[in-house]
A and B are shown apart, each in its own frame.
Chain A
């Protein structure tokens, strides 16, 4: 376990040395501040459009950071020829995968803390309220969804040849799930066989990361808290998908030549 955490620490250090997060964070702040400065009928209590925009930017930024950071982990080790020395140490391939995953996931967690603190401050500046539990629910499910995306990208980095192709495929897949994942069953009902079964199979197979994504509406429009039972179930659901992708990644990596 210590080895996994040591490897994760290296990944986190790599993230704060790179400029991706700073650029995206500052860009989010600048866009939100500009939008907040717009005068809307001399009413300075209007906030929901800002909350929606800010949450959307947080989701986009966090996905960009998660996918781009994860996609280059193993290919970079291979390109720099550090993979073989790394595995020569008392480190198994499974530990390497888990360490890389944990590092990326924890790094995304740190990123989310910064983003959600900014979001809370922005909302509080207009609403004068701190619905901390709602924000916590949104952030924790967001982090879990990113965990699934990171695990999926890690698997992709072992399957696809280049980080760029892996990133593109992951972005397209995640964007599709976020936009239409919830409605695939409704679409399937309108189709004939065999397309109907194919779409249904896809619907049940994909990780429904759009559930935390659509939760934004509850935060934006100040809906009451979601039952903790449902939050717990969704976390278990997303953890299961993380496990599936990680096991698949470990299996693929075991057969992969190091050089």
Chain B
């Protein structure tokens, strides 16, 4: 075979191969680029997935500040600190803390150096919102000191819902910074569109702080729609089954329905309130009190004069 022709043929084959490879890889690169652009987070680009590890350690750091430095290390018994207390105290997460070690996780001193060293470290269990080491309740606003770490944690892991919920709780309830709390939730919703937990908290701000019941209702109803959209293929009855696995699902559904029911009651829409309570009861672990309340509402509704039909 003519060597010049062989070279030309080889060149053509290589060109076809290159073109094929480029055509195959281009869509994949495009999808990677769009994902990067979507994240738009400096820390995510810099640290990759390890940013979540840092975010978690900063969340723990916030909990350490909440205890004014009294916190177990990896060498101590941390069974009472499995769930950070800053999150546990919000009521938004299930607690996994156990044991009686909360006040004495260090145990008895191991030797004289350990005993002596304990005079130089925080050695008493306190919470910042209860005054911290001074036990002065007027100093409860000191809980603000946890905020830098929560902010950093949220920036490092913008997909962690718990960070937004905890930050919002402390800003709204203890520091009376409602507008900042709303901003945190909106930031959370920008990073996690349609998250029902964030919607629920946003609705609470509109209901409890702004007293804007119409917007609160809209937001909570949107939260319920988001909740349903999360797992469209699973029937509602399955998601509300009393199992440990779907605790978060049930808890969210119950909270939303209960909040909407209370809102309807306050608005005087007793029939709508009953309907909401009946939905809430499906997800509630104990139903006796709720059923009693529904019965009371039904009696109240029956006692109301029926509206005169217009002619």
Using CB atoms and an 8 Å cutoff, list the residues of chain A in contact with chain B.
38, 40-43, 45-49, 182-183, 185-187, 189, 203-204, 208, 210-212, 214-215, 217-218, 220-224, 226-227, 230, 233-234
- Cβ–Cβ contact B177 & A222, under 8 A: no
Residues on the B chain within 8 Å of A203, using CB: 113
Given contacts A182-B117, A185-B111, A222-B133, is CB(A217)–CB(B122) below 8 Å?
A: yes
- Cβ–Cβ contact A221 & B121, under 8 A: no
A221 CB to closest chain B CB, in angstroms?
4
Q: Does B163 contact A (CB under 8 A)?
A: no
**25 A–B pairs (Cβ distance < 8 Å), ordered by A:** A40-B148, A41-B147, A41-B180, A42-B177, A42-B180, A43-B147, A45-B144, A48-B145, A183-B75, A185-B111, A185-B114, A186-B75, A212-B120, A214-B117, A214-B121, A217-B121, A218-B120, A221-B68, A222-B68, A222-B134, A223-B122, A223-B133, A224-B134, A233-B116, A234-B116
What residue of chain A has the Cβ atom nearest to residue B112's Cβ?
A204
What residue of chain B has the Cβ atom nearest to residue A45's Cβ?
B144
Q: Chain B interface mostly helix, strand, loop or mixed?
A: helix
Interface residues of B in 90-121 (CB under 8 A from A): 110-111, 113-114, 116-117, 119-121
Q: Does B200 contact A (CB under 8 A)?
A: no
Given contacts A185-B114, A203-B113, A218-B69, is CB(A226)–CB(B119) below 8 Å?
A: yes
Q: Does B149 contact A (CB under 8 A)?
A: yes
Residues on the B chain within 8 Å of A186, using CB: 75, 110
- Cβ–Cβ contact A215 & B177, under 8 A: no
- Cβ–Cβ contact B132 & A222, under 8 A: yes
Residues on the B chain within 8 Å of A215, using CB: 120-121
In the bound assembly, the distance between CA atoms of A37 and B177 in angstroms comes to 20
A191 CB to closest chain B CB, in angstroms?
13
- Beyond the given pairs A48-B65, A221-B69, A222-B132, 20 more chain A to chain B contacts, judged by CB atoms under 8 angstroms and listed by A's residue number, are A40-B147, A40-B151, A41-B147, A41-B180, A42-B180, A43-B144, A46-B144, A46-B147, A47-B145, A48-B145, A182-B117, A185-B113, A185-B114, A189-B110, A210-B117, A211-B117, A214-B121, A215-B120, A217-B122, A218-B69
- Across chains A and B, the number of contacting residue pairs, with CB separation under 8 Å, is 87
Q: Does B189 contact A (CB under 8 A)?
A: no
> Which of A189, A221, A226 lies at the interface centre, i.e. has the most chain B CB atoms within 10 A of its CB?
A221
In the bound assembly, the distance between CA atoms of A189 and B180 in angstroms comes to 48
Q: Does B280 contact A (CB under 8 A)?
A: no
Residues on the B chain within 8 Å of A185, using CB: 110-111, 113-114
In the bound assembly, the distance between CA atoms of A48 and B147 in angstroms comes to 10
In the bound assembly, the distance between CA atoms of A211 and B122 in angstroms comes to 12
In the bound assembly, the distance between CA atoms of A210 and B114 in angstroms comes to 11
In the bound assembly, the distance between CA atoms of A189 and B110 in angstroms comes to 10
- Cβ–Cβ contact A230 & B116, under 8 A: yes
- Cβ–Cβ contact A218 & B149, under 8 A: no
In the bound assembly, the distance between CA atoms of A35 and B156 in angstroms comes to 17
Q: Does B228 contact A (CB under 8 A)?
A: no
Residues on the B chain within 8 Å of A182, using CB: 114, 117
Q: Does B284 contact A (CB under 8 A)?
A: no
- Cβ–Cβ contact A204 & B148, under 8 A: no
A238 CB to closest chain B CB, in angstroms?
12
Residues on the B chain within 8 Å of A42, using CB: 177, 180
- Cβ–Cβ contact B121 & A49, under 8 A: no
Residues on the B chain within 8 Å of A214, using CB: 117, 120-121
> Which of B75, B133, B151, B171 lies at the interface centre, i.e. has the most chain A CB atoms within 10 A of its CB?
B75
A127 CB to closest chain B CB, in angstroms?
10
> Which of B69, B149, B151 lies at the interface centre, i.e. has the most chain A CB atoms within 10 A of its CB?
B69
In the bound assembly, the distance between CA atoms of A203 and B113 in angstroms comes to 9
Q: Does B243 contact A (CB under 8 A)?
A: no
B177: contacting residue among A43, A211, A223, CB under 8 A: A43
In the bound assembly, the distance between CA atoms of A49 and B121 in angstroms comes to 17
B266 CB to closest chain A CB, in angstroms?
30
In the bound assembly, the distance between CA atoms of A227 and B119 in angstroms comes to 8
- Cβ–Cβ contact A46 & B145, under 8 A: yes
In the bound assembly, the distance between CA atoms of A233 and B148 in angstroms comes to 36
B288 CB to closest chain A CB, in angstroms?
42
Given contacts A41-B151, A42-B177, A43-B175, is CB(A208)–CB(B113) below 8 Å?
A: yes
- Cβ–Cβ contact A224 & B133, under 8 A: yes
Residues on the B chain within 8 Å of A222, using CB: 68, 132-134
Q: Does B73 contact A (CB under 8 A)?
A: yes
B93 CB to closest chain A CB, in angstroms?
22
